[in-house]
Structure formats: structure tokens, C-alpha cells
Chain A
């Protein structure tokens, strides 16, 4: 059973527009959430994170929103740029710092159209 779900395998967005990537989770013990970005032939790269005590975290063009009651988070990229084309993974960890490792979703392939 998938504890972290990314229901959109791919998403196409025009350059300059907003990209919104969604993620749902089922484990109520998750309290720390992250987004990773992956280019082909490279390992995932950490992008942004949010703790369950917050509902929003911003870093430049990237904003992550967390809705704990809905067990839903989203990543907004504004404005989208061609270099943002990559696979984005949502990940979560339980309280205690995640020594058990992160639980990842299957990823969403974001394609930025010129």
C-alpha cells in the first residue's frame, strides 16, 4: 500500500506559468515532508521541506503548502522555467527524524513547454 501518493505521473506546463504538483499521504504519523527533484542519470536532489507545524514554506520560486487535515501537500513553482523539467518526488518521514528512512511517492514528471 502506497503511503505517499502522487497521482499525476506527468504534468505539462507552459514556461512562465505556475506549476502545481500534488501529493497525498495516508500515514498520520508523518510529520516532515520533502520534495526532491531528479534529472535523468542523476540522483535525486533535495528541493524544499516543510514540518507539520507549518502550513507553508517558501524558497525563491518554490513554495510548499501542507494541509494536515486533508493529508495533502503541494509544490508550487512560479514562474516555471525550462530547467524545471524533471521528475519530482514527494517524500515523508515519521516523528523522530526519519532514521527509518523516507517514504517516497512514485514521482511526477514535469515538462515545461517553451
Chain B
């Protein structure tokens, strides 16, 4: 499977715990995005990487959230001190050079449930 891969697919945690999600983009896709989707809503932009550089961050990304893409390949999204409002589907998407930045290839998502 050469699509965008996300792990874990589902994470259940207690409020206050830290969680980390991993995204492996399609090979040679230099642009990587994180989105969040809550029930009944469309995906909401969180952050964007071009290679290893984090170029954009949404105001939705509070200081409890941190994302990295250390070698310009896979990326991690960490949420510290989780709150019930963090329960959502976290979607990763990638995009290759030369293609419109709007045409994203999404992974299947990592669903977070905070109890």
C-alpha cells in the first residue's frame, strides 16, 4: 500500500494524558498537512510542513499541540494534557511537488477518544 499511512487508527485515553500520532506520507511528497475533524464538521486545518519546515500553524493548534517532521519524511502530532474537547479524527494528508496544493492525498485518520 503506497498511500498515506497513519498510526494508531484509534486511541482511547484518559483526560490529562499525552498522546502521539504518526503519519507516513506518500514517498516523495514534500508537503504534509494535519487536519482535525469533529463529528458533523468538515476537516479543519491544523498545520503544514514543506519538507522538514513547519510553515503554517492554525490558531486551533494550542500550545498543548506540537507537530514535527524531523527528516522531511514522516511526521508526528503530539497532544499534551489531553482534554475531552480534543476528541476528534486527526487526518494527515500529503501532496507532491508540482501538484496544486489543494489536491491532497489523505490518510484514513487517527481517531482520538478522551474519557
Interface residues of A (CB under 8 A from B): 4, 32, 34, 41-46, 49, 89, 91, 93, 97-107
Q: How far is the CA of A101 from the CA of B93 in the complex (A)?
A: 11
Which residues of B are found within 8 Å of A91, using beta-carbon distances? 42, 102
Using known A-B contacts A89-B42, A104-B43, A104-B44, determine if residue A34 contacts B102 with beta carbons closer than 8 Å: yes
With a cutoff of 8 Å between Cβ atoms, the chain B residues found around residue A34 in the complex are 102-103
Please determine whether A93 and B44 come into contact, CB atoms closer than 8 angstroms.
Answer: no
B56 within 8 A of A: yes
- Give the residues in chain B near A41, CB-CB below 8 Å: 108
The closest CB in chain B to the CB of A87 belongs to: B42
Question: Are A104 and B42 in contact (CB-based, < 8 A)?
Answer: yes
- Using CB atoms and an 8 Å cutoff, list the residues of chain B in contact with chain A: 4, 33, 35, 40-46, 48, 50, 55-56, 58, 91, 93, 100-109
Residue of B nearest to A97 (CB): B101
Please indicate the chain A residues that have their CB under 8 angstroms from the CB of B108 in the complex: 41-43
Chain A residues in 8 Å Cβ range of B106: 43-45
For B46, the chain A residues whose CB sits under 8 A away are 101
Given contacts A97-B101, A102-B45, 14 further A-B contacts (CB under 8 A): A4-B42, A42-B108, A43-B91, A44-B106, A49-B100, A49-B102, A97-B100, A101-B35, A101-B45, A101-B46, A101-B56, A101-B58, A102-B104, A106-B40
Cβ 8 A contact of A101, one of B33, B50, B107: B33
**What residues of B have a CB within 8 angstroms of the CB of A42 in the complex?**
108
- 30 A-B pairs whose Cβ atoms sit less than 8 Å apart in the complex: A4-B42, A32-B100, A34-B103, A41-B108, A42-B108, A43-B93, A43-B107, A43-B108, A43-B109, A44-B91, A44-B104, A46-B103, A46-B105, A49-B100, A49-B102, A91-B42, A93-B102, A97-B102, A98-B101, A98-B102, A99-B55, A100-B48, A101-B45, A101-B48, A102-B102, A104-B42, A104-B43, A104-B44, A106-B40, A106-B41
Find out whether the CB atom of A103 lies under 8 angstroms from the CB atom of B45: yes
CB distance from A52 to the nearest CB of B (A): 12
Q: Taking the nearest CB of chain B, how far is it from the CB of A30, in angstroms? A: 11
Asked if A93 contacts B42 (CB within 8 A), the reply is: no
